[in-house]
Chains A and B, each alone.
Chain A
Amino acid sequence: MKRSSWKEYQKEIADDRYYYARSCIRQNFFPGSETTFLRIMREALGKDIFDDPRHTSCTGIGYHSDIVPLDTTMAVVARQFALATEAGYENIAVSCITSFGLYTEILETWHEFPETEARARENLFKATGREFVIPKNIAHTSDLVFHNREKIEELAVRRLVDARTGEPLRIVEHIGCHYAKIFPKSGIGGSEFPYVLAGMVEQWGGSVVDYPERRHCCGFGFRNYLVQANRGFSIANSRKKLESMAPYKPDMIVANCPGCAMFLDKWQYALAEMENSTYGADGRGIPVLTYEEMAGLVLGYDPWEMGMQMHQVDVEPVLERLGVKYDPAAKFLGRAGKYIGAPGEAAVNSFSGDRIYRIRQ
């Protein structure tokens, strides 16, 4: 396959009937995003997607940290497939990039080394009495939103443009490494021209920022942050990206990986506290959104219902640019109107005259 032809590469994405595999990180740090995804798929698009409370972690974090052995990981993933089989679903929609990469890696391993599949089947049967059929289609949930981007545009109540000027919002898109860097064929556009997020941004009227470190890792890694002493390496990667994108004055970052969204968001807080560095053009941090949140805003969903108050970097500047009507007083009220607590003041969210947008020299 010629390098340039990857630009046109489209992976196969099933249209309907998905078994939903949730993400450990997102359920903790962006809990509203997965709910928003289900709402978009079911309410807006009328798709059949099964949210199964029985499925577990894929073990990806433990596997990539050399804590969980490959055979254990294969048995756990085989159990997820068995649950999908039992529920009558042939397609799997994976919320997490790490899980998506892991499922893809395991299917490739089983394809190349059939004895490993036989061993996984045996281990699963001995442990749980379950059997499975290999899924026909595995897609990341961002693939599904990309797949339906035109229908979402038809239902949109707003576009990704500045409500005051009509100018497209400048959006940095960040793709998780395990989306297509392991197996290029698993991602739209392969590993070199991933179009999954850029396609959504362009379809909904935004402008994609192309900057030098666009394909650099966010620094999430696994061992890079699990050990506290190693986190300096993780945050250095995020800083490299933030420094590279800052001159283009992006309005927001959108990511399709749980770890990327989490670290690009939370490291901005740590960098502001450690070094007094902020990277947004207004002197504050750059808001980091998940693609579901971006799609939800386009569809007119309430930002607090989507859990956007859970972000470390305040999202209000983006909401105001988009002309989203929101109730500031309701930001920290839960669904029943119960106060959920507000975070303390953070340098990344406090604009003052002497804290200006600066690029480290």
Chain B
Amino acid sequence: MGAINFGYTVSAARAIDLDRNDLGPARQIAAEMPEFAACIACGGCTATCTAGALTNFNFRMVQTLVRRGEYAGAWREMNKCMLCGKCRLVCPRGINTRGVVRLIKRKLGDY
């Protein structure tokens, strides 16, 4: 197997397949912090994010991907957060966003 160099590999699909994704860690995060599921994806957190102003960090995108079981890169992304807490001040659903960041980092360190 793999003896032939074809000059290309099979492209990974960009589709998110909820049936195949391991939703266990996402469910654990939601169990420990139920408000995680209350997000309406308004983007207020991302708009006010200090780290987002300096880097391409996008908290809304990462937490949406985590809810769908797409964990690749989530831990590294969350390390861009400076834990300033501005996002928590603007969240219309009152979500403890700093807490979510810390929880994602704790749960998804292995991904």
Contacts and interface: CB of A to CB of B under 8 A. Distances in A.
A347 B20 CA distance: 27
B1 A232 contact: no
A239 B10 contact: yes
A345 B10 CA distance: 22
Contacts of B9: 232, 274
B64 to A, nearest CB: 24
Contacts of A270: 6
B12 interface: yes
B24 interface: no
B3 A235 contact: no
Interface in A255-301: 270-271, 273-276
Contacts of A273: 1-4, 6
Contacts of B20: 361
B11 interface: yes
Given A273-B2, A361-B20, A229 B12 contact: no
Nearest to A267: B10
Contacts of B13: 236, 240
A233 B13 CA distance: 9
Q: DSSP majority for the B interface?
A: loop
B12 A274 contact: no
A115 to B, nearest CB: 42
Contacts of B6: 231, 270, 273-274
Contact of B8 (A231, A239, A240, A347): A231
A274 B10 contact: yes
Interface string A225-242: 000111111011001100
A59 B67 CA distance: 48
A229 B8 CA distance: 6
How many of chain A's residues touch chain B, expressed as a range?
Answer: 10 to 19
A275 B10 contact: yes
Contacts of B2: 273-274
A228 B8 contact: yes
Interface string A194-216: 00000000000000000000000
A232 B8 contact: yes
B10 A347 contact: no
A236 B1 contact: no
Contact of B10 (A228, A230, A271, A361): A271
A74 to B, nearest CB: 34
Contacts of B7: 228-229, 231
B24 to A, nearest CB: 15
Contacts of A239: 10
Nearest to A232: B11
Interface in B1-33: 1-4, 6-13, 20
A336 B12 CA distance: 47
Nearest to B15: A240
Nearest to A227: B8
Nearest to A276: B1
Contacts of B1: 273-276, 347
A345 to B, nearest CB: 11
B29 to A, nearest CB: 23
A348 B26 CA distance: 38
A265 to B, nearest CB: 16
A273 B3 CA distance: 7
Given A235-B8, A276-B1, 7 more contacts: A229-B7, A235-B11, A236-B13, A273-B2, A274-B1, A274-B6, A274-B9
10 contacts: A231-B6, A232-B10, A239-B10, A270-B6, A271-B10, A273-B1, A273-B2, A273-B6, A274-B10, A276-B1
The 10 lowest CB-CB distance pairs between A and B, nearest first, are: A232-B11, A236-B11, A231-B8, A232-B8, A276-B1, A233-B11, A228-B7, A273-B4, A236-B10, A235-B10
